[in-house]
């Protein structure tokens, strides 16, 4: 199964020259709930091995969790524990959620201090050209799982220009290093589950809540993150609660380990090489994605 359907979106360049190139959808799209249901069934029919869902406790992976559960999929949620208790807040929420659904998760312990001090974090980052220090740990765990790895990360994000009020799609280069890692390490899975196809991406972006945002019908909104829960809850009875999702690394940034040279290198060197930002007008991207 393709990591991204027919490579409909491909990155080019690095750093200041980094950009994304999109191919259009092959047909008119349906509401997102219908599209993601069809995608889930296709994935389940074409997966290799057991599904491991990397579950962070955030709304994106919780949506995937609920969908898989509703469809009766056999899957195991994987929770990453960053020792020593660096991400306890997220871990508790995720553990309690799994318990409430009667599913036992796999908790993967990572000695984060050792991961940093040993240089493993830099080794992984450089192998995948990643400038985000939060990503290598997740990729390391993904490579240790013998099955089909699903991630609910990276739903589309749009925000307005403070002066013009024109909304744009924004994406950062280091997130796309995840695809490189999967390819380079032969990791089977679906890291882009929520936007695996151009139909999914277009359907998500044209949900009524995003259309309202892009047309400035919701004054005061500074981005789409607080609105995506409406997309996830539309057409089903999930009732995912809109809440702040911690990265899991907030506490790390207040500890001594954050001053280690193997973490400083991300900001001082790697971000200069692979810290690109892609921006495109919302309406321009939507037109680009529409079936010809």
Contact (CB, 8 A) for 152 and 53: yes
Q: Which of 70, 68, 96, 91 is nearest to 81 (CA)?
A: 91
Contact (CB, 8 A) for 44 and 71: yes
Residue whose structure tokens are 């924004």: 170
* Residue numbers of the domain that contains 113: 5-289
Residues of the chain with pLDDT under 50: none
Residue 89 pLDDT: 84
Burial class of residue 225 in the structure, from the number of CB atoms within 10 Å of its CB (0-12 exposed, 13-18 middle, 19+ buried): middle
Instruction: Compute and round to an integer the Cα radius of gyration of the chain.
Output: 19
Q: What CATH number does residue 59 fall under?
A: 3.40.50
d(CA 145, CA 219) in angstroms, rounded, equals 45
The 10s digit of each residue's pLDDT in 4-20 is 999 999 999 999 999 99
pTM of the model: 0.96
User: For the chain, what's the residue count?
Assistant: 292
If one counts the domains in the chain, the total is 1
CA dihedral 235, 240, 246, 248 (to 10 degrees): -90
d(CA 58, CA 100) in angstroms, rounded, equals 16
Strand partners, 189: 149
The SS3 call for residue 22 is strand
Residue 9 pLDDT: 96
Helices (H), the chain: 32-46, 59-70, 88-100, 112-117, 120-128, 135-144, 177-184, 198-205, 208-214, 228-233, 261-265, 271-274, 282-289
Residue 246 pLDDT: 64
């Amino acid at each position: 199964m393709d990591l991204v359907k027919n490579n409909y979106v491909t990155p080019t360049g690095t750093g200041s020259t980094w950009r994304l190139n999109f191919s259009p959808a092959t047909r008119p799209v349906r509401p997102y709930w219908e599209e993601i249901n069809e995608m889930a069934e296709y994935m389940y029919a074409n997966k290799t091995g057991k599904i491991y869902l990397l579950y962070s406790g955030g709304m994106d992976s919780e949506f995937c969790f609920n969908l898989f559960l509703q469809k009766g999929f056999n899957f195991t949620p994987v929770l990453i524990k960053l020792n020593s208790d660096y991400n306890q807040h997220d871990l508790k929420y995720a553990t309690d959620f799994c318990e409430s659904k009667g599913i036992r998760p796999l908790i993967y312990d990572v000695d984060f201090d050792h991961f940093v001090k040993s240089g493993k974090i830099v080794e992984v980052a450089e192998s995948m050209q990643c400038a985000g220090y939060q990503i290598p740990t997740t990729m390391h765990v993904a490579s240790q799982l013998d099955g089909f790895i699903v991630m609910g990360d990276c739903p589309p994000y749009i925000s307005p220009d403070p002066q013009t009020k024109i909304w744009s799609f924004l994406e950062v280069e280091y997130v796309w290093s995840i695809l490189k890692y999967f390819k380079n390490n032969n990791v089977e899975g679906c890291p882009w589950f929520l936007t695996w196809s151009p139909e999914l991406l277009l359907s998500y972006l044209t949900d009524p809540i995003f259309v309202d945002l892009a047309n400035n019908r919701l004054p005061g909104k500074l981005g789409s993150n607080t609105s995506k829960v409406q997309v996830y809850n539309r057409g089903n009875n999930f009732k995912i609660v809109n809440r702040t999702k911690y990265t899991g690394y907030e506490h790390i940034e207040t500890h001594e380990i954050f001053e280690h040279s193997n973490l400083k290198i991300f900001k001082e060197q790697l971000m200069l090489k692979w810290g690109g930002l892609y921006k495109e007008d919302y309406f321009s991207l939507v037109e680009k994605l529409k079936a010809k």
